[in-house]
């Protein structure tokens, strides 16, 4: 019989990385989420060759202290939770302490960071190991540059879709993060060629204008709803502006972009029978709720969540959407001008 032995940390990191880092867009998502958690007001993302040659994310957030860098790149090391109680009361986007370790296991990583000290720190990682660290001049915040993604996991490289598809996935995730955080100015460039820019003035309509176009943004309808457990706000399109797929529906739970079929259905239910078959609205819906009501520890990428009181929320969502549409119809038919 074969002998059982423990796998090396390098190998376990690589295996675990497969769950968190599926494609270039996953790197962008994880690095941006860290920047958001660090309290940044400006996030700049650049990528080269669909992110396979290079992805860099620069923020102006809290930065990482030089003596914390090793820990930041250690699996299951995080500054965001510490007790079991915290695990059910998560207010940050990250908490699993996996992203940086995972990225460093499947790419070359350079870090430049300053946590407000007189001098910053520069470090580099390869094959999951730290290669180098030294003092370096750096502005407040963190810049992480990821090169040669999946260089040591050829199977993963092969599984990737066309360059165009991978770029669309990067743009899609940055769109959603920006829509979830209108208070942050996002800049996304492809080899320094601008793809997306939001202004960070905490104005969702401005973000929608930058992402989906001004013409559409001007026609979007504000929604607002509230119960004792949930607060809903956002923008939805009128029945005239629909799309042939549901990709233009963004659901954010406490600023976290999630996919949830039930809630998507309840948004559509708010449009009632006026929504033609196989047509979908454009919507950005932010739901604020007590973190205790949502379990985000369901999947490594945290895009699937489990909700308590999901029926109550579904009902409130449908009601809120349908009310907003009715009010808008009255207004545009001029009834309140009488
Ligand atoms: P998690 O986000 O789940 O804590 P990560 O591996 O993504 O795990 O990051 C590990 C730790 O490194 C974080 O908890 C945080 O303390 C620190 N960190 C990562 N990125 C940044 C950043 N951009 N700015 C400040 N601190 C960061
Ligand atoms: Mg993280």
Options 3.40.50.150, 2.40.128.280, 3.40.640.10, 3.30.230.10; CATH for 213-332 is: 3.30.230.10
Measured distance CA(21)–CA(27) in Å, rounded: 6
User: So what's the pLDDT on residue 335?
Assistant: 60
Measured distance CA(166)–CA(161) in Å, rounded: 6
- The pocket around ligand 1, CB under 6 angstroms, is made up of 30, 34-35, 38, 59, 61-64, 72, 78-80, 94-101, 142
Indicate the fold that domain 9-197 takes in CATH.
Heat Shock Protein 90 (3.30.565)
Percent of the chain with pLDDT over 90: 84
Domains 9-197 and 213-332 fall in the same CATH topology:
no
Q: Is the dihedral of CA 302, 283, 310, 292 positive or negative?
A: positive
Measured distance CA(16)–CA(102) in Å, rounded: 7
For the CA of 35, the closest atom of ligand 1 is: 23
Low-confidence ranges of the chain (pLDDT < 50): none
Measured distance CA(284)–CA(201) in Å, rounded: 17
Measured distance CA(168)–CA(63) in Å, rounded: 29
Measured from the Cβ of residue 260, the count of other Cβ atoms closer than 10 Å reads 19
> SS in 3 state form for 21-39?
CCCHHHHHHHHHHHHHHCC
User: So what's the pLDDT on residue 336?
Assistant: 54
**pTM of the prediction?**
0.95
Name the closest-CA residue to atom 23, ligand 1: 35
Question: 158 vs 11, 30, 52, 151, 163, CA distance in Å?
Answer: 20, 22, 12, 11, 12
Question: 214 vs 132, 206, 235, CA distance in Å?
Answer: 47, 8, 13
Break the chain into its structural domains and give their ranges. 9-197, 213-332
Name the helix (H) or strand (E) containing 71.
helix 69-72
User: So what's the pLDDT on residue 174?
Assistant: 98
Give ipTM to 2 decimals: 0.99
User: So what's the pLDDT on residue 186?
Assistant: 98
Contact 124, 131 (CB under 8 A): yes
Name the closest-CA residue to atom 2, ligand 1: 94
Name the closest-CA residue to atom 19, ligand 1: 34
């Amino acid at each position: 019989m074969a002998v059982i032995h423990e796998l090396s940390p390098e190998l376990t990191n690589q295996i675990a990385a497969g769950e968190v880092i599926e494609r270039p867009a996953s790197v962008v998502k994880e690095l941006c989420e860290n920047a958001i958690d660090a309290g940044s007001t400006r996030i700049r993302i650049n990528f080269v060759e669909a992110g396979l040659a290079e992805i860099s994310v620069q923020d102006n957030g809290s930065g990482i202290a030089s003596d914390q860098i090793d820990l930041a790149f250690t699996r299951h090391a995080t500054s965001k939770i510490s007790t079991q109680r915290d695990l059910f009361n998560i207010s940050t986007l990250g908490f699993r302490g996996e992203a940086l370790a995972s990225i460093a296991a499947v790419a070359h990583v350079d870090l430049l960071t300053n946590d407000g000290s007189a001098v910053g720190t520069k470090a580099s990682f390869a094959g999951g190991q730290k290669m180098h660290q030294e003092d370096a001049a750096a502005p407040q915040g963190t810049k992480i540059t990821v090169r040669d993604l999946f260089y040591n996991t050829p199977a993963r490289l092969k599984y990737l879709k066309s360059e165009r598809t991978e770029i669309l996935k990067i743009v899609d995730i940055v769109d959603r993060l920006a829509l979830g955080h209108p208070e942050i100015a996002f800049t996304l460039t492809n080899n320094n060629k601008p793809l997306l820019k939001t202004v960070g003035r905490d104005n969702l309509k401005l973000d929608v204008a930058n992402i989906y176009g001004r013409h559409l943004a001007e026609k979007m309808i504000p929604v607002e709803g509230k119960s004792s457990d949930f607060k809903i706000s956002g923008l939805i399109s009128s029945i005239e502006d629909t799309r042939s797929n549901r990709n233009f529906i963004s659901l954010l739970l406490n600023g976290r972009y999630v996919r949830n079929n039930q809630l998507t259905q309840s948004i559509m239910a708010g449009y009632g029978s006026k929504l033609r078959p196989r047509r979908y609205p454009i919507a950005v819906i932010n739901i604020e709720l007590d973190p205790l009501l949502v379990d985000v520890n369901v999947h490594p990428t945290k895009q699937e969540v489990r909700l308590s009181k999901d029926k109550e929320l579904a009902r409130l969502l449908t009601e809120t959407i349908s009310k907003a549409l009715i009010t808008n119809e009255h207004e545009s038919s001029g009834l309140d001008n009488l």
